[in-house]
């Protein structure tokens, strides 16, 4: 697939694509964004995650230059953003977007290409490339109003790419999409990353982003709680590991021994914080343990086997991102 790529002179390769410094936005007495410090590396997909009302849309509108900060600053591709002057560097796809129902698909993109001053030959080439990119080439002559929700989402993403910006801001792009359309969206995000685009994508649903993002940031009540590579965030936040133990024979023996070790810890074994049954599988025991090395976990397995317990599965099961998200954003 032939795609357009961005080349921006005079910026160092290590300069972040997006950087905010104490970015703050107030609406009267309400603080929508509170001293946000965000850094997004070039060519990455950054998942910006938080519950509804956390400040995600406010942040994206500030990065797009659509509203002015109360204080702090935004830097895009190493350049300080002057309100009203960042649109060439940014492609912004809002969570609620308008389409012109009486236009055909190609006319819709051509209209916005004209708004950016693209000359005729380049407009035609850009429209063709973008329709191929978002897999709408076969619908180029269809009216926008006839497209499904997923197709309209892809068309609006193409609209955000018309002027070939290095940075894309996508606000809840998977909202309202069916499972197949969500998979297609994730694949499209990977394609954009391969093109060299930097993508900041917001969502209140972690599972939409965990598989595709290089980094994530969790925001709540206008404040960044944690930010970094997905696995680093997981390790940083997870105070415990969950052991999943499937027992073929000796289930009651296993439970009794684990409960005994929880009440009376032993130095060579991991410290147990909780023992419970898996509600979806009665043959599985879930054990919360403090962070410990593999040797201690192996010693626990040996102890169970020595007690006559027959085990078919014994593995560490890290707390998933959904659980971390809920724990963080519901904490007082």
Given this model, what pLDDT does residue 326 score? Answer: 65
Given this model, what pLDDT does residue 169 score? Answer: 96
Burial class (CB in 10 A: 0-12, 13-18, 19+), 175: middle
The CATH 3.30.70.100 portion of the chain extends over 238-329
Dihedrals phi, psi of 257, to nearest 5 degrees = -65, -45
- Rounded to whole angstroms, the Cα distance separating 266 from 146 reads 67
- Rounded to whole angstroms, the Cα distance separating 111 from 261 reads 69
Q: From first to last of its 332 residues, what are the pLDDT tens digits of the chain?
A: 344 444 444 445 589 999 999 999 999 999 999 999 999 999 999 999 888 888 999 999 999 999 999 999 999 999 998 866 657 899 999 887 766 778 999 999 999 999 999 999 999 999 999 999 999 999 999 999 899 888 988 999 999 999 999 999 999 888 777 888 888 888 899 999 999 999 999 987 766 677 788 899 989 889 998 898 887 777 666 666 789 999 999 999 999 999 999 999 898 998 898 899 988 899 999 998 876 678 889 999 999 999 999 999 999 875 556 666 666 665 54
DSSP letter string over 97-143?
Answer: ----TTSBHHHHHHHHHHHTT--HHHHHHHHHHHHHHTT-GGGTTSB
The CATH 3.40.50.300 portion of the chain extends over 18-236
Given this model, what pLDDT does residue 312 score? Answer: 95
Residues facing residue 49 across a β-bridge: 203, 218
Helix axes 149-161, 120-133, angle to 10 degrees: 140
Query: pLDDT per residue over 96-107, tens digit each?
Result: 776 677 899 999
Q: Tell me, which fold does domain 238-329 have in CATH? A: Alpha-Beta Plaits (3.30.70)
For the 18-236 domain, the top CATH level (class) is: alpha beta
- Rounded to whole angstroms, the Cα distance separating 71 from 68 reads 9
- Rounded to whole angstroms, the Cα distance separating 74 from 76 reads 7
- Rounded to whole angstroms, the Cα distance separating 244 from 254 reads 12
pTM over 0.85: no
Question: What count of other Cβ atoms lies within 10 Å of the Cβ of residue 26?
Answer: 14
- Rounded to whole angstroms, the Cα distance separating 33 from 103 reads 37
Helix axes 321-329, 230-237, angle to 10 degrees: 60
3-state helix, strand, coil in the chain (%, to 5): 35, 30, 35
CB 250 within 8 A of CB 309: yes
Dihedrals phi, psi of 251, to nearest 5 degrees = -60, -45
Given this model, what pLDDT does residue 182 score? Answer: 84
Structural tokens at position 152: 């309209």
- Rounded to whole angstroms, the Cα distance separating 67 from 21 reads 16
CB 193 within 8 A of CB 43: yes
Structural tokens at position 10: 């005079």
Given this model, what pLDDT does residue 245 score? Answer: 96
Supply the mean pLDDT for the chain. Answer: 86
């Amino acid at each position: 697939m032939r795609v357009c790529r961005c080349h921006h002179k005079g910026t160092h390769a290590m300069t972040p694509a997006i950087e905010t410094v104490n970015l703050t936005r107030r609406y009267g007495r309400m603080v929508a964004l509170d001293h946000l410090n965000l850094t997004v590396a070039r060519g990455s997909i950054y998942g910006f995650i938080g519950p509804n009302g956390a400040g995600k849309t406010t942040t994206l509108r500030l990065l797009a230059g659509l509203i002015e900060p109360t204080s702090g600053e935004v830097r895009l591709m190493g350049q300080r953003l002057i309100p009203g002057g960042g649109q060439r560097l940014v492609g912004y796809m809002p969570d609620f977007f308008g389409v012109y129902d009486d236009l055909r698909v190609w006319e819709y993109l051509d209209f916005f290409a004209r708004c950016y001053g693209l000359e005729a030959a380049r407009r035609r080439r850009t429209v063709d490339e973008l329709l191929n990119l978002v897999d709408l080439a076969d619908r180029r002559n269809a009216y926008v109003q006839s497209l499904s929700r997923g197709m309209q989402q892809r068309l609006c993403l193409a609209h955000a790419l018309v002027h070939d910006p290095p940075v894309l801001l996508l606000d809840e792009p998977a909202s309202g999409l069916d499972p197949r359309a969500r998979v297609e969206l994730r694949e499209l995000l990977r394609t954009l990353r391969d093109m060299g685009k930097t993508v900041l994508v917001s969502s209140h649903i972690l599972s939409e982003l965990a598989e595709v993002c290089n980094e994530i940031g969790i925001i709540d009540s206008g404040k960044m709680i944690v930010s970094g590579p997905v696995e680093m965030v997981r390790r940083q936040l997870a105070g415990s590991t969950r052991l999943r133990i499937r027992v073929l024979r000796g289930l009651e023996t296993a439970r009794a021994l684990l409960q005994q070790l929880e009440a009376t810890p032993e130095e060579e074994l991991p410290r147990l914080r909780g023992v419970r049954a898996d509600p979806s599988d009665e043959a599985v025991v879930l054990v919360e343990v403090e962070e410990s090395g593999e040797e201690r976990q192996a010693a626990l397995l040996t102890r169970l086997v020595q007690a006559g317990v027959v085990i078919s599965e014994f593995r560490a099961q890290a707390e998933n991102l959904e659980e971390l998200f809920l724990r963080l954003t519901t904490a007082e």
